[in-house]
Amino acid sequence: MESSPERALIVGVDLTRAPRAQKASAAGVSPEESLEELAALADSAGAIVAGRILQQRPALDSATLIGSGKVDEIKASVRGDLIDTVIFDRELSPTQLRNLERALDCKIIDRTQLILDIFAARARTREGQLQVELAQLNYLLPRLTGRGVQMSRLGGGIGTRGPGETKLETDRRRIAKRIAKLKQEIERVRATRSVQRSQRQAVPLSTVSLVGYTNAGKSTLFNRLTGAEVLADSRMFATLDPTVRQIRLPSGRRVLVSDTVGFIRNLPTTLVDAFRATLEEVTAAVLLLHVVDVTSSDASEHTAHVLTVLGEIGAETTPEILVLNKADRLEHQGADQDPETLTHRIMGETARQNATEAVLVSAQTGLGIAELLGKIDQRIALDPVSRQRFRLPLGEGRAMHLLHERAAILSKEYLEDACDIVAETPESLRNLLSEYLVSES
């Protein structure tokens, strides 16, 4: 029998006279917006948000983050509203965690642990599971002394997925050994991924990576472009593990498209480090499709955050196309649908400085997809296409198959013992089939 969803109370803090270092975590986002995003994260983790509290105070309380008066108010809400879990929008120190658990007598987690929990629930591949466990253990190791109340409880729920309670109760030395082993296993995965990438590049096929803020519609767009069946869900981080598929461009060229994990504000440092191997798919790409939910009121902040993360992983100079997704909703809203105007609204002067190209699409309906494929074709300089004539012996089925698969056939003429084919052909395929080339006189 399935257990009922946990009832969660989410708590945020609005610092009215905070030092610059404490304000930095807000990243230009209002406390209300940050709390709204926390509610979406809680919903993605399977919780019911039964209440919200946003406290204004001049500085964070070192003992409980929110002060004794607010702790008493939350305690009353926990009892009156039958709250199972209290989720804080800021990272809690080990001391704050321990004090809050003792005072509120319920499960306490913070934004970082909530994100880690969602990742643990969504990881499907061995690589993803290893990366999540490493991130969780790195986060929990300094907090072991603060887990007494929570770890004594039986049962699962939000904040308990991943390594498991038994492992978390072991001493620091055993956890440190587990972390070292996980790092070794991830390095092996990284080496394997590097070999696979080298094999793909030997073809050669260019890689195009989808990047964007979580819930921008990347997976829906990936499915639309590739015909794949990657999970597309309105919940945040619905997909976690990277997926690579091959698509054919209008010129006949083949390219690889990779879908990666969505970015988010204040992504835990432990996760950024752990998912370095996954993010290498982005750094290896020759073109980025930066997917933006053009209907979101926070589109400009989301875009700025993605650009910041791209800079952190060394992909800031990779050419990109801004994909303004969810155009079908714009149409319903009667909003401006001019790509240039929308791009300037979202990116400001950055768009002009980087000469950013933009395409308005709807991954849901297919609107603008043909234009997007055309722009990808134009932007990828590797493996240029030219018109070539081939004369293939009638028994040369492999070469015929390659031309149909990787070139755009313009004409075909059967002779007595051969077949003349004129095609728009990528340079790599032209070199591969050079023995069948017919020079034009």
Q: What does the pLDDT average to over 294-322?
A: 86
Question: How many domains are contained in the chain?
Answer: 3
Has residue 183 been placed in a domain? no
| 149/262 same-domain check | no
Has residue 278 been placed in a domain? yes
CB atoms within 10 A of CB 164: 12
Could you read off the pLDDT of 170-189 as tens digits, one per residue?
A: 567 888 888 899 989 888 88
Has residue 157 been placed in a domain? yes
Higher pLDDT, 177 or 200: 177
Q: What does the pLDDT average to over 17-35?
A: 62
Has residue 195 been placed in a domain? no
Q: Give the pLDDT confidence score for residue 224 in this predicted structure.
A: 92
Higher pLDDT, 275 or 130: 130
pLDDT at 151 exceeding the cut of 60: no
User: Which structural domain range is residue 301 located in?
Assistant: 204-379
Has residue 239 been placed in a domain? yes
- Is residue 204 reached through a cis peptide bond, with omega within 30 degrees of 0 on the bond before it? yes
DSSP 368: T
Q: Give the pLDDT confidence score for residue 162 in this predicted structure.
A: 57
Q: Give the pLDDT confidence score for residue 386 in this predicted structure.
A: 84
Q: Give the pLDDT confidence score for residue 150 in this predicted structure.
A: 47
Q: Give the pLDDT confidence score for residue 121 in this predicted structure.
A: 80
Q: Strand 418-426: give its sheet, edge to edge.
A: 385-393, 418-426, 408-414
Q: Using CA atoms, how far apart are residues 48 and 46, in angstroms rounded to an integer? A: 7
- Binning pLDDT at 50, 70 and 90, where does residue 25 land? very low
* Of 5-19, 130-144, 228-242, 366-380, the least confident: 228-242
Q: What proportion of the chain, given as a percentage, has pLDDT over 90?
A: 29
Has residue 311 been placed in a domain? yes
Residue ending a domain, among 165, 185, 215, is 165
Residue-averaged pLDDT of the chain: 80
- Binning pLDDT at 50, 70 and 90, where does residue 39 land? very high
Q: What does the pLDDT average to over 398-422?
A: 89
pLDDT at 99 exceeding the cut of 90: yes
| 42/86 same-domain check | yes
Q: Give the pLDDT confidence score for residue 53 in this predicted structure.
A: 94
Q: Using CA atoms, how far apart are residues 252 and 423, in angstroms rounded to an integer? A: 9
**3-state secondary structure (DSSP) of residue 412:** strand
| 160/260 same-domain check | no
Q: Give the pLDDT confidence score for residue 28 in this predicted structure.
A: 57
| 146/252 same-domain check | no
The H or E element containing residue 110 is strand 107-110
| 281/404 same-domain check | no
- Binning pLDDT at 50, 70 and 90, where does residue 136 land? confident
Q: Give the pLDDT confidence score for residue 204 in this predicted structure.
A: 59
| 158/63 same-domain check | yes
| 221/361 same-domain check | yes
> What is the longest distance spanned by two Cα atoms in the chain?
93
Q: What does the pLDDT average to over 96-118?
A: 90
| 370/389 same-domain check | no
pTM: 0.70
* Of 124-133, 205-214, 288-297, the least confident: 124-133
- Binning pLDDT at 50, 70 and 90, where does residue 169 land? low
Q: Give the pLDDT confidence score for residue 118 in this predicted structure.
A: 84
CA dihedral sign, ordered 331, 261, 133, 86: negative
Q: Which residues pair with 210 in a beta bridge?
A: 259, 289
The CATH number linked to 351 is 3.40.50.300
Has residue 189 been placed in a domain? no
| 12/72 same-domain check | yes
Could you read off the pLDDT of 201-228 as tens digits, one per residue?
A: 555 577 899 998 888 888 889 989 988 6
| 341/398 same-domain check | no
| 272/350 same-domain check | yes
pLDDT at 290 exceeding the cut of 70: yes
The CATH number linked to 111 is 3.40.50.11060
Q: Using CA atoms, how far apart are residues 71 and 64, in angstroms rounded to an integer? A: 8
| 103/234 same-domain check | no
- Binning pLDDT at 50, 70 and 90, where does residue 78 land? very high
Q: What proportion of the chain, given as a percentage, has pLDDT over 70?
A: 77
Could you read off the pLDDT of 226-259 as tens digits, one per residue?
A: 886 655 555 555 555 567 888 988 887 788 898 8
Residue ending a domain, among 134, 165, 196, is 165
Residue ending a domain, among 141, 165, 189, is 165
Has residue 233 been placed in a domain? yes
